[in-house]
Amino acid sequence: MYDEILLPVDGSPASEQAIPHVFGFAEMYGATVHVLFVADTEHDGVGGIVGGEVLTRLENEGQKLVDGIVNRAHERDIDAVGVVEKGSPHEAILEYATDHDIDVIVMATHGRTGIERVLLGSVTERIVRKASVPVLTVREAT
């Protein structure tokens, strides 16, 4: 059913909580896990004013995060690959899913409500609305 599973991560406790679900699916279906970190270049200072130094640091931190999750998968004999992209997170996730024939996307939701959700938006919400494959959301435990 699921051969290719996409796990977008951002280093938050919420995204950490999605990992056991992904590993469980991967073990159940013999799937490959694609761990994706997107260095968000949409915010001022990352891609603009401060530019290269901040973006490089963000990409390096993302690579450490991705490598750690991939290593944890390999310790459980799960096929896994890790990728760091830069750009708009929701656009990069959707593009990656299409380009790599992803069967399901599993990602965290931070549980923002009210004005915080309106002002900050939600990458997960955009993925749920626009993805052409199923999306499993894992809510951050409080």
* Tens-place pLDDT, residues 40-80: 887 654 445 445 788 888 899 999 999 999 999 999 999 99
Q: Report pLDDT for 44.
A: 52
Q: Report pLDDT for 12.
A: 86
CA distance 116 to 86: 24
Q: Report pLDDT for 142.
A: 63
Q: Report pLDDT for 21.
A: 95
CA distances from residue 31 to 24, 64, 107, 118 in whole angstroms, order as listed: 10, 23, 16, 35
Give the DSSP H/E element, type plus range, for residue 24: helix 13-29
CATH number at residue 61: 3.40.50.620
Mean pLDDT per 10-residue section of the chain, whose length is 142 residues: 95 90 97 95 55 82 97 98 94 97 92 47 84 91 68
34 Cα distance to chain centroid: 9
Q: Report pLDDT for 51.
A: 59
The closest of 110, 118, 96 to 141, measured between CA atoms, is 110
Residue 15 φ then ψ, to 5°: -70, -30
The closest of 48, 69, 46 to 57, measured between CA atoms, is 46
Q: Which domain range does residue 75 map to?
A: 4-139
Domain count for the chain: 1
